[in-house]
Structure formats: C-alpha cells, structure tokens
Amino acid sequence: MTFASERTASRRDTLIFVACLLLAIIARSVPRDWGFAVASGFRSTLLVPFLALQNQAELTKTSRKRFAAVVTERDSFALLADSVPALRAENDQLRAVLGLRGRLPVTHVAAEVLHQSLPTNAFMVTLSAGRAQGVRPLAPVLAPNGLFGVVDNVEANTSVAMLWAHPDFRASAMTLDGSVFGIVAPYGSRGPNEMLMELSGIPYREQVPPGTMVYTSGLGDVYPKGIPLGTVLEVGSEGAGWSRTYLVLPIVHPAQVSHVMILLSGSAGDLRPAFPPKAPPQ
C-alpha cells in the first residue's frame, strides 16, 4: 500500500516536471509580444494578492526605517536641549572667572574643580592646579563672587581644597567699613539645600543690620582683606549681654562652582575693589 502510493507520487512529480518543461519550451518559442501579454495577464489576475503583499511589506519596512530615523533625531535634539543650560551655565562661570582674573591685583592661577577628594567627604575637593603651577598650602581659593575655600594639600599637578562649609573652616571677618570684626565659621543647614555661616565674637554694643555684606578682614595672614563671605540674615544668639552671633547667608555655593582662582600671594592688598558690590549669590 505504501509502495503504491509512493509510486503514484513519483509519477505525479514526473508529470508535473514534464509539463513545466513543455511550458518553458513553449514560452521560449512563442513571439516576444505574446510572452509580455501573458505575463501582464498573470500580474493583473493571479499575482495581484502576492504583489499587494509584497508592496505592503516594502511600505512597512520603509516606515520602520523612517520611524527609527525620527526617534534618533528626537533623542539627539532632546540630548542637545538638556545640555544647553549646563553649557550656558559653564560659559557664564568661565566669563565670570575671566572677569575676576582681570580685577585681581595679586598673582593667581586658574583651576577647575574636578571632584570630591574622598567619596565620604563632601567638603574637600580636588583642583586642577598644584605645585607645578605655584600653589602652596593655605592658599585662598576664590569663586567669581567670593571665598570658595582654602588649599589644604598640594601635589605635583593637583591640590585638595577645604571648602568654607568644612567644620574646621574659620576666617577673620569684618563689615565693609571695617567697623565690626568677628570670626566666620560654618553654621549648618537651614533647609535641605541651604548652608549658612555664623559670624561670632561681635561685641554686644555693636549691631550688624540684616543685609550687611561680610568680608575677610586680612587678619591671620591666610586670607587677604576684602574677600566677600556673605550677607547677614539675622541675629543668631546673644551671650548674656556680652556678645552677639549673627547668621550669614554665604555668597558662594560650592556645589555650583566649576572654575576657581587660587591666590599665590595670600596676604597682599585689599581685594574689595575686585568684587562688585552687592554681588548676587552664585
């Protein structure tokens, strides 16, 4: 039974092959115009569904390519749009640093803020200038608007700076007219993203109104006179009628600074003319 069915299938295949061969011979022998007419008839009747499917497949392939191109362009424009504010802010900082560089009367070197010196210490940063550029320990570090920090450690081509927000930071301070002196130190945070300074050691008889700008006094031979520190917010505490402590809003926010100036001659001159009055917080 199986042998007979296989023989029948073999004969059928042979007959189909012979028929196709005869049709091929006939197609080769008929006039060319007849062949085109027959082919056109097949395309307009039997092959219509297959040609439609092929056309749809090509359209789908083209649509996918166009969609991929549109998505790529959209992602590129979105990335460019996200980077524009950051580039603009960096350019603004570079222009501000260049402006400060032209106003500083002391020798200095420009540096870039690279990263935190240690992952666990957010108040120490690495700068892109070191011993080869003339940087020394305890060199003041300035942002365009005021004091950024002080160099703590120097290597060949980099240095580590301590920010003003570091718990060990201290600076002798004064008001613009030099009538009131005190000590500025980090106070802590007021809210999740606002660090404050504390101006202490102010005699009780002296009053510092809110909005008064506080500068370094030049005492102590570390920070030159006249570097802006911040503006007075309010009275913090009173020490039994002997002294007052004031809270100060810093003029420099270290997290927003990318380029700084490192002073190479720390105690020379008065830097108040180098900083425009009432500079907005950075």
Judge whether 207 lies within some domain: yes
Judge whether 108 lies within some domain: yes
In terms of residue numbers, what domain contains 132?
A: 104-274
As a whole-number percent, the residues of the chain with pLDDT over 70 amount to: 75
Judge whether 208 lies within some domain: yes
Helix-, strand-, coil-residue percentages of the chain, each rounded to 5: 40, 30, 30
pLDDT attached to residue 30: 65
Judge whether 99 lies within some domain: no
Q: What Rg, from alpha-carbon coordinates, does the chain have?
A: 40
Judge whether 84 lies within some domain: no
| Number of domains making up the chain | 1
pLDDT attached to residue 39: 64
Q: What is the mean pLDDT of residues 148-172?
A: 95
pLDDT-derived band of residue 47, with 50, 70 and 90 as boundaries?
Answer: low
State pLDDT tens for residues 258-282.
889 999 975 567 888 888 775 444 4
CATH assignment at residue 113:
2.40.10.340
State pLDDT tens for residues 126-137.
999 999 999 999
Strands (E), 119-212: 121-127, 140-142, 147-154, 159-163, 171-175, 181-189, 195-203
State pLDDT tens for residues 228-241.
999 999 988 876 66
Judge whether 4 lies within some domain: no
